[in-house]
Amino acid sequence: MQVIDLAETTLRDMNAALQAQNGSTNQTAWQILNPRGAHALAVGLDAPLDVTVAGPTGYYCAGMNARATVRVAGSVGPGVAENMMSGTVIVEGDASQYAGATGHGGLLVIHGNAASRCGISMKGIDIVVHGNIGHMSAFMAQKGHLVVCGDAGEALGDSIYEAQLFVRGSVKSLGADCIEKEMRPEHLTALAKLLESAGSDADPAGFRRYGSARRLYHFDIDNAY
Amino acid sequence: MCGIVGLFLKDARLQPELGGLLTDMLVTMTDRGPDSAGIAIYGPGRPGRAKLTVQSDDMAAFDGLQARLAAATGTDVSITRKDTHAVIEAPRDAAPDLRAALPAGLRVMSAGERIEIYKEVGLPRDVARRFAVPEMSGTHGIGHTRMATESAVTTMGAHPFSTGPDQCLVHNGSLSNHNALRRRLRRDGVHIETENDTEVGAAYLTWRMGQGATLGGALEQGLRDLDGFYTFVVGTADGFGVLRDPIACKPAVMAETERYVAFGSEYRALVNLPDIARARIWEPEPATVYFWSH
């Protein structure tokens, strides 16, 4: 276990040390102490590391992650796992706005609640939120899955493309072109797998599925004039 | 951007540390706005005494001020100078005369019985040091470091804005209907000093409270009448409120323990508060009024 204490090491040196593991390394377990809400912690990783951040973080924690597993023992500020490519990011507390924004792949698990714009413009990432999500979540979501064990705020999935949304609780309102869709066996199978990988024992049968009505993003000749 | 901090003490034993804690919080937020900084502190006050914080860039404006105000009001007036600011105290009944007798070169930062506001162009660390804010005690206070967008970088454009007795407001965001609202408020006789959007927000709340609304009620009505982006932190003589607009893109984090309620634009601002590891930490919901009072 490698330990970096941010009371002694600068943020830049800490990120550089983690990024230096990109390629082949046998130093896979890392612990970051005293994060004290710092921004851009453990960003740009591209190695199969297992990083634990011991406390709350600021903006953009684990941004652009590839292959690494980053666990935050606390809450995170805006933009956690923004543009993640692969790997896993686990937040034990709450996440602020735009968690997992534009993510291309990997798994983001939030054990608490996520604020507004969770999964905005997601492009293939899987996001599982054990609690609730705020308004405008999955706005323009293109690909991937957003699973919400609690409730969703206003305008869920506004202008959504092909991402799949699963919500167990209430949805305050659906955004433009987002509709409830039939939950078919393949969806239940995919959902069960996501819940299991996120450590949730929620029953997939208790969820509803939402997605695109596909009326908004096809060119409609009747709209030309 | 802009950075906001606020601290409301429940435990009186923390009161001597208010200025120090608030200064540390605000200095941590410096990189959210380097243009100007300000702090409002609610001190103990003295029974029956009114308090006026005034400012001038011209130090000569303070010469002979005490004698002049004492003569004009016919009462016992005391003045405490701090750099470009001075706190004037006089019997409560003399407050209107005091204000009328102020020389033209002095600008009023705040008025009331407990509030003192210190604000200038510059970084939080420098502004706090110039006015010895870390040594100040009090029950609650709010601070702001500004990245200017809506009006000039001047002392009068710095936050907090105070538009009513013992009231003040700091703001992260921008109001888009402030010109129309300023005209409306001025028609109703509300005094608004600057072209700044935030001052209109503060004056709006003062106007609503003048009509009988509580701070909580005024903030609720603000959700309908104020258009734009905002996270507000508001101070009154005995309380402290928080409101975010329905879109809520301006950040906010709160912490509560048995000893205090704290607000920061980011969690970083809160890390040095006592027992922060055991505090309840949360993000205030959009379009939801939060208020604490003594």
Alpha helices in B7-123 (DSSP H): 18-28, 65-73, 95-100
Contact yes or no for A36 and B251 at CB 8 A:
no
Find where tokens 């010469």 sit.
B63
Structure tokens at B7: 């601290």
Nearest CB to B267 within list A77, A97, A135: A77
**B88 and B204 both lie in a single domain:** no
Kindly state whether residues B92 and B197 are assigned to the same domain.
no
Is residue B284 pLDDT above 70, yes or no? yes
Distance CA A128, CA A106 (A): 11
Q: What is the mean pLDDT of chain B?
A: 96
Q: What is the pLDDT of residue B264?
A: 98
The pLDDT tens digits of the residues spanning B57-101 come to: 999 999 999 999 999 999 999 999 999 999 999 999 999 999 999
Could you read off the pLDDT of B223-278 as tens digits, one per residue? 999 999 999 999 999 989 999 999 999 999 999 999 999 999 999 999 999 999 99
Q: Is pLDDT at A224 greater than 70 in this prediction?
A: no
Question: Which residue reads 């921004």 in tokens?
Answer: A39
Q: What is the pLDDT of residue A106?
A: 98
> Are the beta carbons of A58 and B248 separated by less than 8 Å?
no
Token pair of B16 as six digits: 């001597």
The ipTM, to two decimals, is: 0.92
* pLDDT, tens digit (0-9, with 9 covering 90-100), for A95-137: 999 999 999 999 999 999 999 999 999 999 999 999 999 999 9
Contacts of B93 (CB under 8 A, 6+ apart): B75
Query: For position A20, what pLDDT does the model report?
Result: 93
**The CATH number of the domain where B101 resides is what?**
3.30.70.600
How close does chain B come to A190, measured CA to CA in Å? Answer: 32
Distance CA B229, CA B64 (A): 44
The pLDDT tens digits of the residues spanning B112-167 come to 999 999 999 999 999 999 999 999 999 999 999 999 988 899 999 999 999 999 99
Active-site annotation of B, residues: 2
Distance CA(B38)–CA(B79), nearest Å, equals 21
Q: How far apart are CA B152 and CA A30, in angstroms?
A: 47
Write down the pLDDT at residue B169: 97
Is the pLDDT at A52 greater than 70, yes or no? yes
The pLDDT, as a whole number, for residue A131 is 98
Backbone angles phi, psi at B120, to 5 degrees: -155, 165
Q: Tell me, what's the pLDDT at B229?
A: 96
Do residues B104 and B128 both lie within one domain?
no
Pairing of strands A178-181, B3-9: unpaired
Number of domains observed in the structure of chain B:
2
Residue A65 pLDDT: 98
Does position B195 have pLDDT exceeding 70, yes or no?
Answer: yes
Contact A81, A110 (CB under 8 A): no
Residue A132 inside a domain? The answer is yes
- Select from B251, B271, B281 the Cβ nearest to the Cβ of A78: B251
My answer on whether B101 and B213 are in the same domain is no
Q: What is the pLDDT of residue A25?
A: 73
Which of A116, A132, A172 to probe by mutation at the B interface, max B CB count within 10 Å? A116
Closest C-alpha to B117, from B151, B57, B83, B168? B168
- Whether chain A has a CB inside 8 Å of the CB on B31: the answer is no
Beta strands, E only, A34-101:
50-53, 69-72, 88-91
Domain span at A28: 2-216
Interface contact B270-A37, CB threshold 8 A: yes
For residue B223, which phi and psi values (nearest 5 degrees)? -55, -30
Between the CA of residue B186 and those of B4, B201, B228, what are the distances in Å? 28, 13, 20
| Closest of B264, B251, B256, B252 to residue B281, by C-alpha | B256
* Nearest-angstrom CA–CA distance, B79 and B73: 14
Split at pLDDT 50, 70, 90, the class of A26 is: confident
For chain A, the domain total comes to: 1
Measured between beta carbons, which residues in chain B are less than 8 angstroms from residue A58?
266-268
B8 and B126 share a domain? yes
Strand partners, B238: none
Closest among B146, B141, B130 to B199, alpha carbons compared: B146
Instruction: Say which of B269, B283, B286 has its CB closest to residue A96.
Output: B283
Q: Provide mean pLDDT across the span B199-222.
A: 95
Searching chain A, which residue's CA lies closest to the CA of residue B246? A135
Q: Is B284 on the interface with A (CB under 8 A)?
A: no
Q: Are A88 and A69 in contact (CB under 8 A)?
A: yes
pLDDT 10s digits, A9-20: 999 999 999 999
B19 shares a domain with B164 = yes
Beta bridge partners of B53: B87, B110
Q: Give the list of residues 6+ apart from residue A13 with CB closer than 8 angstroms, or none.
A: none
Cβ contact (<8 Å) for A77 and B282? Answer: no
**Three-state secondary-structure class, residue A208:** strand
pLDDT at A225: 57
Mean pLDDT of chain A, nearest integer:
96
Does residue B193 sit in the same domain as residue B279? yes
Examine the domain organization and report whether B243 and B279 are in the same domain: yes
Please, which residues 113-142 of chain B have a Cβ atom closer than 8 Å to chain A?
Answer: none
